[in-house]
Amino acid sequence: MARVIALDCMGGDHGPEVVIRGAELARERYPELRFRLYGRADDIQAALASAPRVRAESEVVHVDGVVSGSDRPSQAVRRARSSSMGLAIEAVRSGEAAAAVSAGNTGALMAMAKFTLRTLPAIDRPALVALMPTLRSDSVVLDLGANAECDALNLVQFAVMGAAFARSVLGLSRPSVALLNIGVEDMKGTGEIQAAAALLRQAAVDLPFEFRGFTEGHGLAKGEVDVIVTDGFSGNIALKTAEGTANLVTALLARAFRSSWRNRLGYLLSRPALRALKEHLDPNNHNGAVFLGLNGVVVKSHGAANVKGFANAVCVARDLVADDILRRIAADMTNFRAHLPGSVPPAGAASAA
One-letter identity of residue 95? G
Alpha-helical regions (H) of 170-231 = 191-203, 217-222
Residue 117 reports pLDDT greater than 80: yes
Answer yes or no: do 223 and 340 share one domain. Answer: yes
Question: Final residue of a domain: which of 91, 117, 143?
Answer: 117
Answer yes or no: do 2 and 34 share one domain. Answer: yes
Alpha-helical regions (H) of 259-324 = 261-281, 307-322
Q: What is the pLDDT of residues 218-254, one digit of tens each?
A: 877 788 899 999 998 888 888 888 878 777 877 887 7
Sign, Cα dihedral of 280, 281, 285, 288: positive
Residue 5 reports pLDDT greater than 90: yes
Residue 241 lies in a domain: yes
Q: What is the pLDDT of residues 177-192, one digit of tens each?
A: 999 998 888 878 888 9
One-letter identity of residue 209? F
The predicted pLDDT at position 183 comes to: 85
Count of alpha carbons within 13 Å of 110, Cβ hemisphere only?
20
Model confidence at 205, pLDDT cuts 50, 70, 90, reads low
Give the whole-angstrom CA distance, residue 297 versus residue 3: 13
What is the rounded radius of gyration, in angstroms, for the C-alpha atoms of the chain?
21
The predicted pLDDT at position 286 comes to: 72
The predicted pLDDT at position 353 comes to: 37
Mean pLDDT, range 1-26, rounded to an integer: 87
Answer yes or no: do 151 and 197 share one domain. Answer: yes
Provide CB contacts within 8 A for 160, sequence distance 6+: 207, 209, 329, 332, 333, 336
Contact 101, 8 (CB under 8 A): yes
Q: What is the pTM of this model?
A: 0.84
Helix (H) or strand (E) holding 352: helix 349-352
Contact 224, 138 (CB under 8 A): no
The predicted pLDDT at position 276 comes to: 67
Model confidence at 89, pLDDT cuts 50, 70, 90, reads very high
Residue 98 gets the label, from left (phi > 0), alpha (psi -120 to 50) or beta, of alpha
List the CATH number of the domain containing 101.
Answer: 3.40.718.10
Answer yes or no: do 113 and 125 share one domain. Answer: no
The 3-state DSSP class for residue 70 equals: coil
One-letter identity of residue 181? N
The predicted pLDDT at position 2 comes to: 60
One-letter identity of residue 67? V
Give the whole-angstrom CA distance, residue 260 versus residue 168: 48
The predicted pLDDT at position 35 comes to: 94
Residue 312 lies in a domain: no
User: Helix 16-29 to helix 307-322 angle, to the nearest 10 degrees?
Assistant: 50
Q: What is the pLDDT of residues 129-144, one digit of tens each?
A: 988 888 777 889 988 8
Mean pLDDT, range 263-274, rounded to an integer: 71
Answer yes or no: do 183 and 198 share one domain. Answer: yes
The predicted pLDDT at position 162 comes to: 94
Give the whole-angstrom CA distance, residue 161 versus residue 201: 16
The predicted pLDDT at position 157 comes to: 93
Domain that holds residue 102: 1-117
Residue 352 reports pLDDT greater than 50: no
Contact 99, 92 (CB under 8 A): yes
Answer yes or no: do 112 and 151 share one domain. Answer: no
Q: What is the rounded average pLDDT for all residues in the chain?
A: 85
Give the whole-angstrom CA distance, residue 128 versus residue 144: 5
Q: What is the pLDDT of residues 299-341, one digit of tens each?
A: 998 888 888 899 999 999 999 999 899 998 988 888 887 776 6
Residue 303 lies in a domain: no
Answer yes or no: do 60 and 173 share one domain. Answer: no
Answer yes or no: do 43 and 95 share one domain. Answer: yes
